[in-house]
Copies of this chain bind each other. A is one copy, B any other.
Amino acid sequence: MKRRAARAISKIAKSAPKPRPDALIDPKVLQELVDVFHSAGVADLEVERGGLRVRLRRQEAVVAGQSREITVPVSEALRQSGPVETPASLAETEGLITVTSPIVGVFYRSASPETEVYVEEGSYVRKGQVLCIVEAMKLMNEIESEVDGRVVKILVENTKPVEYGEALFLIEPGARPEA
């Protein structure tokens, strides 16, 4: 399974406050952007508004003596939480929940080839409802939803192998079928 953890790139639009007329950009505004950038845990931030464009990029460099100060704790935290791919960061910015595989195995959308799939994209699910099966060592492990909500996206094809921490579903929590 050749698979590299992709670098999340998220675009954030923030309304930049009015700069002083004589400055290229108000340092305070820039500092605020930097703070948001850091807490966002993204690799790249670009903001453009009314002819002002600001771009920030995460340090990847390794320079003797400097790296400790540069290393951004957030990216470390992200890495700790697994091979986060684009969907995961989407989830972060849009309030979606990512269901990841807790084990290594093969992803199945139904209990057997003859039975119906557990969920479709758009399905509403309840907390504890089975979303899929991950088969490992001939054991069928049911993966349940941890929230009530709507399945926004199914990220893995039926019968494909998945690694630990791999994103399987995006769920919009709290969503309910219209009455």
Query: CB within 8 Å of B: which residues of A?
Result: 19, 22-27, 29-38, 40-63, 69-72
Residues in B with CB closer than 8 Å to A43 are 57-61, 70
Q: How far is the CB of A52 from chain B (nearest CB, A)?
A: 5
Q: Which of B33, B41, B62 contacts A30 (CB 8 A)?
A: B33
Residues in B with CB closer than 8 Å to A69 are 41
- Known: A43-B60, A61-B62, A63-B61. Is A52-B49 also a contact (CB below 8 A)? yes
Q: Which of B29, B35, B41, B62 contacts A72 (CB 8 A)?
A: B41
Contact A24 B62 (CB under 8 A): no
Q: Which of B40, B52, B70 contacts A48 (CB 8 A)?
A: B52
Residues in B with CB closer than 8 Å to A34 are 36, 40, 42
11 contacts between A and B (CB under 8 A): A19-B49, A24-B47, A24-B54, A27-B36, A34-B36, A34-B40, A41-B71, A44-B55, A48-B53, A49-B53, A61-B63
Give the distance in Å from the alpha carbon of A53 to the alpha carbon of B25 in the complex: 11
Contact A46 B55 (CB under 8 A): yes
Residues in B with CB closer than 8 Å to A54 are 24, 45-48
Contact A42 B61 (CB under 8 A): no
Name A56's closest neighbour in chain B (CB-CB): B42
Q: Which of B23, B29, B55, B59 contacts A61 (CB 8 A)?
A: B59
Residues in B with CB closer than 8 Å to A60 are 43, 61-63
Residues in B with CB closer than 8 Å to A55 are 44-47
Give the distance in Å from the alpha carbon of A27 to the alpha carbon of B37 in the complex: 10
Q: How far is the CB of A148 from chain B (nearest CB, A)?
A: 39
